[in-house]
Amino acid sequence: MKVCVAVACCAMKPKNTSVRTFTEGLCTTFHKANQQLHHKHSSLEAEILHLRQQIAISSMSSQETIHTQDESRAGDAVLFPTPPLSGRDKQEGAVVEGSDLDSLHRNTQFLQSVINIQQVTRQASQTGLLGDGEKNNSTSETKLKSLTSLNQATVVKSLQTILKCVQDQTFTVSIKSLQHCIQCVVQLMDQLPALMSNIPIVSIIKDILRCLVKDIIQEDASHSQPNTRQQSTNLVLGFSKPPVTRITQEVLVEEIQKFSQHLQDVCQNANPLQGIVV
């Protein structure tokens, strides 16, 4: 196959262009086209997810709004509390692709809405509503259970966006937006225990925590913002609440063991000390 490709490149190249230059140009063009297709696929995937979220929320929000108006304790609950991105938020973060930023806010908005609907449903159940109210409450619980796959997809997409921001070692999205999203993810995982057994979700959380811990303990912060270490610490604390506490503890213990092993190598083999906090 490689020989066939090489022969084809030799036959197709312009007369005044070397095979190497022509081949490198083909690779560059293919790489750019592949990136564009990947970006388009990600955008369409995020849009489909958002449309599913809108359909799910609109099918439940009307009756939950009635419950909210009827009960004083639920009266303060807002189904869509996530504010639009303000000018201050834009200043707090560096330039980021609009699709990533929009995706994070949309997903955070949906997660917060599901959390609020669950709270309203629970409050309605506690008040002992009868008749139609009891029927509506049962219907809401059934619909919430049917959102399992959508909740999982939204949590995974949100965590992937957070991981991307953390891996860049610069918080391209407002730290407040990241904290709000983490808060919603952790709170929803607390309300829906099934999410804790979802392997992709747990795996991404561990990857995020490993990146954050690395930012906290690394010595060379020349490629990071001045307050990156404090921001990383705040995000780790966001993952320290139940039920994600156990996952955070596992990652921290893992990193402590790695650093302890490194210290042992330094003492025994005179290796240079790395990753010390300054």
Q: What is the mean pLDDT of residues 115-141?
A: 66
Mean pLDDT over each residue of the chain, to the nearest integer = 77
What residues does each domain of the chain span?
58-269
Return all residues near 211 (Cβ < 8 A) that are at least 6 apart: 163, 166, 167
Residue 140 pLDDT? 58
In our burial notation (b when 16+ CB lie closer than 10 A, e otherwise), range 1-27 reads eeeeeeeeeeeebeeeeeeeeebeeee
Share of the chain above pLDDT 70, in %: 71
Residue 189 pLDDT? 95
Residue 81 pLDDT? 43
* The one-letter amino acid at 234: N
**251 vs 55, 111, 162, 182, CA distance in Å?**
37, 25, 17, 17
CB atoms under 10 Å from CB of 51, counted, come to 10
Which one is predicted more confidently, 17 or 106?
106
Per residue in 195-247, pLDDT (tens digit) is: 999 999 999 999 999 999 988 877 554 445 556 788 899 999 999 999 999 99
Q: What phi-psi label fits residue 270: left (phi over 0), alpha (psi between -120 and 50 degrees) or beta?
A: left
Per residue in 23-72, pLDDT (tens digit) is: 888 888 888 899 888 888 888 888 899 999 999 888 776 555 444 444 43
Residue 89 pLDDT? 45
**Which of 12-16, 59-63, 144-148, 184-188 comes out lowest in average pLDDT?**
59-63
With beta carbons less than 8 A apart as the criterion, state whether 188 and 182 touch. no
Quick one: pLDDT band at residue 123, thresholds 50, 70, 90?
confident
Quick one: pLDDT band at residue 74, thresholds 50, 70, 90?
very low
With beta carbons less than 8 A apart as the criterion, state whether 195 and 201 touch. yes
Which one is predicted more confidently, 66 or 18?
18
Residue 274 pLDDT? 67
